[in-house]
């Protein structure tokens, strides 16, 4: 097996907010083009970076077990958020994280950042920032869990839809999917189905503060969703539970209820102000 590393536009452009250069699809476009041309036979994606609409001819074939979906704080001296002095500078490139931080920890200053994980952590170690918020999954996969200062519960920081989930993408009907079946985790697939259905109904992405987190518990599935205004003053958050076999239907229904409770007006205002 040959492993090919493809740098996407999202990887290369690290000094501009994603919302201004096309959103999260920038992390998959070149990879999907290589897959369609037959240059590669499968692609491995972080599902939180994959748009809900896939190119014709491609499909997400399977999902390995989900890594920790939470966000984490990496700070100087290992300080937790609530112990950090007023005005401490916390870096994040995510609208979702920024809005929830403004509501949970208003005494902290949020600083926009881009760059890979190592670049973000270096800003803390060099004293340019007092802390950064990143995904636990990335820290764990790099073997850097000992550098985590605080795990942020979904009650404080609702994760991005599909955070911690890897997806294997192939060409539709490719028999390769059968050879990879041993990697598949059905519980993670259930989580992904509900969360992506939520996003599909909302049309949300990096341009708007949207979050969703689903959990399969036995035969039941519980999903929580959030939509917020860019200034964080309006937040609509709801939760639904139901049969795990109806995860996608629950995600879609949750999005519909959030839209009816004010989410539609919030998103309309965001898209109207977009450049």
CA distances from 177 to 168, 173, 269 (A): 9, 8, 42
**What is the tens place of the pLDDT at every residue in 10-21?**
444 444 444 444
- Asked if 209 and 83 touch (Cβ cutoff 8 Å), the reply is no
Q: Report the predicted TM-score, pTM, of the whole model to 2 decimal places.
A: 0.88
Beta-sheet strands, E only, within the chain:
43-46, 58-62, 71-75, 89-92, 109-112, 131-135, 150-152, 166-171, 210-217, 220-228, 235-243
CA distances from 181 to 56, 62, 128, 176 (A): 22, 7, 45, 9
- Helices and strands, counts by H and E, the chain: 10, 11
Please classify residue 124 by burial: count the beta carbons closer than 10 Å to its beta carbon, then call 0-12 exposed, 13-18 middle and 19+ buried.
buried
Using pLDDT thresholds of 50, 70 and 90, give the confidence band for residue 1: low
Give yes or no: 231 in active site.
no
As a whole number, mean pLDDT of residues 83-94 equals 94
Please enumerate in sequence order all residues whose Cβ is within 8 A of that of 70, keeping only pairs 6 or more positions apart, or say none: 135, 136, 151, 152, 153, 154, 157, 159, 164
**Choosing from 49, 68, 71, 252, which is the catalytic residue?**
49
**How much is the pLDDT for 7?**
60
Which CATH code of 3.30.160.40, 3.40.190.10, 2.40.30.110, 3.40.50.12160 fits the domain covering 9-67+161-273?
Answer: 3.30.160.40
Using pLDDT thresholds of 50, 70 and 90, give the confidence band for residue 207: low
**What is the tens place of the pLDDT at every residue in 22-43?**
445 566 888 899 999 999 999 9
d(CA 220, CA 208): 29
**How much is the pLDDT for 109?**
95
The sheet with strand 235-243 has its strands ordered as 210-217, 220-228, 235-243
Q: Positive or negative, the Cα torsion across 75, 164, 43, 209?
A: negative
- Residue 142 pLDDT exceeds 90: yes
**How much is the pLDDT for 62?**
97
- Residue 206 pLDDT exceeds 60: no
- Asked if 113 and 93 touch (Cβ cutoff 8 Å), the reply is yes
- Asked if 61 and 171 touch (Cβ cutoff 8 Å), the reply is no
Using pLDDT thresholds of 50, 70 and 90, give the confidence band for residue 127: very high
As a whole number, mean pLDDT of residues 81-86 equals 94
Q: Positive or negative, the Cα torsion across 201, 161, 233, 128?
A: negative
Please classify residue 47 by burial: count the beta carbons closer than 10 Å to its beta carbon, then call 0-12 exposed, 13-18 middle and 19+ buried.
buried
- Asked if 245 and 230 touch (Cβ cutoff 8 Å), the reply is no
As a whole number, mean pLDDT of residues 114-136 equals 94
Using pLDDT thresholds of 50, 70 and 90, give the confidence band for residue 273: confident
**How much is the pLDDT for 27?**
65
Fold of 71-152: D-Maltodextrin-Binding Protein; domain 2 (3.40.190)
- Residue 257 pLDDT exceeds 90: yes
> Over pLDDT 90: what percentage of the chain?
75
- Which carries the bigger pLDDT value, residue 189 or residue 17? 189
Please enumerate in sequence order all residues whose Cβ is within 8 A of that of 57, keeping only pairs 6 or more positions apart, or say none: 36, 171, 172
Would you list the domain boundaries of the chain? Answer: 9-67+161-273, 71-152
Determine which helix (DSSP H) or strand (DSSP E) holds 15, and give its type and residue range: none
């Amino acid at each position: 097996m040959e492993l090919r590393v493809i740098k996407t536009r999202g990887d290369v452009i690290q000094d501009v907010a994603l919302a201004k250069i096309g959103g999260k699809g920038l992390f998959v476009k070149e990879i999907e083009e290589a897959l369609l041309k037959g240059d590669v036979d499968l692609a491995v994606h972080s599902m939180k970076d994959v748009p809900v609409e896939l190119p014709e001819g491609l499909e997400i074939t399977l999902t390995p077990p989900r890594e920790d979906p939470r966000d984490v704080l990496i700070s100087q001296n290992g300080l937790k958020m609530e112990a950090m002095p007023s005005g401490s500078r916390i870096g994040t490139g995510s609208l979702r994280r920024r809005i929830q931080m403004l509501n949970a920890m208003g005494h902290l200053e949020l600083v926009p950042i881009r760059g890979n994980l190592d670049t973000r952590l270096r800003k803390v170690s060099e004293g340019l920032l007092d802390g950064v918020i990143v995904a636990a999954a990335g820290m764990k996969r790099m073997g850097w869990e000992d550098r985590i200062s605080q795990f942020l519960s979904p009650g404080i920081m609702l994760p991005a839809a599909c955070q911690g989930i890897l997806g294997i993408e192939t060409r539709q009907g490719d028999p390769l999917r059968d050879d990879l079946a041993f990697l598949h985790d059905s519980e993670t697939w259930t989580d992904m189905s509900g969360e992506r259905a939520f996003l599909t109904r909302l049309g949300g992405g990096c341009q708007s503060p949207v979050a969703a987190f689903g959990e399969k518990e036995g035969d039941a599935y519980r999903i929580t969703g959030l939509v917020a205004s860019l200034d964080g003053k309006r937040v609509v958050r709801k939760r639904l539970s139901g049969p795990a076999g109806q995860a996608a239907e629950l995600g879609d229904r949750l999005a519909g209820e959030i839209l009816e409770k004010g989410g539609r007006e919030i998103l309309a205002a965001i898209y109207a102000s977009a450049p």
